[in-house]
Chains A and B, each alone.
Chain A
Amino acid sequence: GAVVSQHPSWVICKSGTSVKIECRSLDFQATTMFWYRQFPKQSLMLMATSNEGSKATYEQGVEKDKFLINHASLTLSTLTVTSAHPEDSSFYICSANPGLAGGGRLPGWNEQFFGPGTRLTVL
């Protein structure tokens, strides 16, 4: 249980193009989804937190107009990197939190379950 998928697993794009990354909770509903960025040999850095049906909350220093987040359902969130540049090349990881979506404090209710990540390379 508690499986989170990301698509694509890797993407290469030209500078100036936009790239969309999907994050899905496969076997549970997620009240909240999180997006992280990880540079080589560094820890995960939280970019934004999104709740289904509402606007995402971005961390300080993260451009909301560049990193568009849509959380249209309890099982899907998307991150769109607009007008990507080489400095946006990174490993993007999402996580999903069940919260109380299952109807109560079920096991794992306050845990973040991580996706496998998406490697973005901007040429």
Chain B
Amino acid sequence: KNQVEQSPQSLIILEGKNCTLQCNYTVSPFSNLRWYKQDTGRGPVSLTIMTFSENTKSNGRYTATLDADTKQSSLHITASQLSDSASYICVVNLYSSASKIIFGSGTRLSIRP
């Protein structure tokens, strides 16, 4: 069964600290993996996208890693800011098709001042 699991479900950290979010997937055939940020009451916004051959991808203070052998991905946030408070969703594409995507349940991140 194709699944995408994220952990932790929720996380609270102090402003300025770093954090790492996890995503494990059992999806086949794998095409690519994306991390999205979803602010409350808004649609998801893409942060990074990685294909099978990519190990890491950065977007400012966000760095995503991918281990295709263990089928794990992580999203590392450096020097967190209050505006980073949001849900972070891991999404995996199958078949290189936009129609075949599996959503993770998300990690709700709260940054405290």
Contacts and interface: CB of A to CB of B under 8 A. Distances in A.
B101 A115 contact: no
Contacts, number: 46
B86 interface: no
Interface string A76-115: 0000000000000001010101010000000000111111
B41 A110 contact: no
21 contacts: A32-B98, A32-B99, A34-B99, A43-B103, A43-B104, A43-B105, A44-B103, A93-B44, A97-B99, A99-B98, A110-B31, A110-B97, A110-B98, A111-B46, A113-B46, A114-B36, A114-B43, A114-B44, A115-B43, A116-B42, A117-B41
Interface of A: 4, 6, 32, 34, 41-44, 49, 91, 93, 95, 97, 99, 110-117, 119
